[in-house]
Amino acid sequence: MAKRTTRAEYVRRMTKVALYIDANLDGDLSLDRLADVACFSRFHFQRIYAALAGETVAETVQRLRLYRASGELARTDRPIEVVARRAGFGSKAAFTRAFRRRFGATPGALRAGSAFRQEQNDMTELDIRTIAPIRCAAVPHRGPYTEIGPKYGQLAAWAAAAGLSWERPRVLAIPYDDPKTVPAADLRAHACLAVDDTVVVTPPAEEVVIAGGRYAVFRHVGPYADLHRTYRRIFGEALPAAGLEPADRPSFEDYLNAPAVTPPAALLTDIYVPLP
């Protein structure tokens, strides 16, 4: 008797493909290779993918390459022509047209805006909040904080395999170390997905509970790569000016929108600093 393949299994396999694409934007993304990753027939893979993802493989690849390119434009001085080639475009003009369709602005405009924002106030004023404990499914990360992204892919795959879905999942991170004092290779964090008490957390995820209580909350606007500047202002300026001292437990970050569908300049992150 043939094994029954459920929708959850379809979703699990396509999530695996999406993670593979994201991790191999410069590698082999042929339909044959992706069909192998999904363990689906090469004859039917493209239709299954499009039906579940809502876009073709080619559209997914271009979208992810454009989002990577937007991050490069915001964080580096790499020439636009070089960024365009890495995104898979044969000319700057073709790249600019696709970029404008996706983000509503040209690559040059995004870069100029990023340079301007670096001189502006990209952090909101202090807000004091009292919160309940937050139960999370989490995956540990060790290494540069800028490389934590694949851990969220693992969480997404775990959630899909468990049959979990949310209209808007609450995605968080708990960074335990200061990048200024700890070598990048030794930085520790948890990539987290908030879950309720009915969810059974199984490997590779582990249960982590963020403590409830009083927090000083600051909203960071802009690329995740600029978070270190906001932390510097929080601990060097904002907390001392408010006469506040952090409690002896970790801060955490609450990501309010998704980097896969949001330009880096528009990303919103709430940073929670625990208070006594």
Domain count, the chain: 2
Read off the pTM.
Answer: 0.63
- The C-alpha angle with vertex 50 and arms to 265 and 191, in degrees rounded to 5, equals 45
Q: What is the pLDDT of residue 124?
A: 67
Tell me if 122 is assigned to some domain: no
Alpha carbons 96 and 59: distance in angstroms, whole number: 16
Would the pLDDT of 119 be above 60? no
pLDDT for res 53: 76
The answer to whether residue 193 scores a pLDDT higher than 90 is yes
Q: From CA 183, how far away is CA 178, in angstroms rounded?
A: 9
Q: Per residue in 138-191, pLDDT tens? A: 999 999 888 888 888 889 888 888 888 776 789 999 999 988 888 989 999 999
Q: What is the mean pLDDT of residues 201-230?
A: 92
Sorting pLDDT into bands at 50, 70 and 90, what band is 115?
A: very low
Please state at what angle helix 31-38 crosses helix 45-53, rounded to 10 degrees. 70
Q: What is the band of 120 on the pLDDT scale with cuts at 50, 70, 90? A: very low
Better pLDDT: 276 or 180: 276
From 111, 139, 173, give the residue that closes a domain.
Answer: 111
227-235, Cβ contacts within 8 angstroms, sequence gap of 24 or more: 227/145, 227/253, 227/269, 227/271, 228/179, 228/180, 229/122, 230/122, 230/123, 230/271, 231/271, 233/123, 234/123, 234/271, 234/273
* 199 inside domain: yes
Q: Are residues 86 and 153 both part of a single domain? A: no
Mean pLDDT value of segment 63-92: 88
- φ and ψ of 249, to 5 deg: -160, 165
- Say if CB 64 and CB 22 are below 8 A apart: yes
pLDDT band at 2 (very low <50, low <70, confident <90, very high): very low
Task: Identify the bridge partners of residue 270 per DSSP, sorted by sequence position.
Answer: 219, 254
Shared domain for 247 and 214, answered yes or no, is yes
Q: How confident is the model at residue 223, as a pLDDT?
A: 83
pLDDT in tens, 259-268: 877 777 788 9
pLDDT of residue 188: 96
In this predicted structure, what is the pLDDT of residue 16?
85
Residue 1 pLDDT exceeds 80? no
Task: Quote the domain boundaries for residue 37.
Answer: 7-111
145 and 227 fall within a common domain: yes
Q: Are residues 16 and 91 in the same domain?
A: yes
pLDDT higher than 60, residue 241: yes
Residue 200 CB burial class (10 angstroms; 0-12, 13-18, ≥19):
exposed
For residues 64 and 170, membership in a common domain is answered with no
Distance CA 94, CA 96 (A): 5
- What's residue 5's pLDDT? 60
CATH number of the domain residue 107 falls in: 1.10.10.60
**132 vs 205: CA distance, rounded Å:** 22
Indicate the average pLDDT of the chain: 86
Mean pLDDT of the region 67-83: 85
Distance CA 140, CA 13 (A): 23
Closest CA to 254 of 174, 141, 176: 174
The pLDDT assigned to 113 comes to 66
Residue 104 lies in a domain: yes
Helices (H) and strands (E) in the chain, counts: 10, 8
Q: 137, 199 in Cβ contact below 8 A?
A: yes
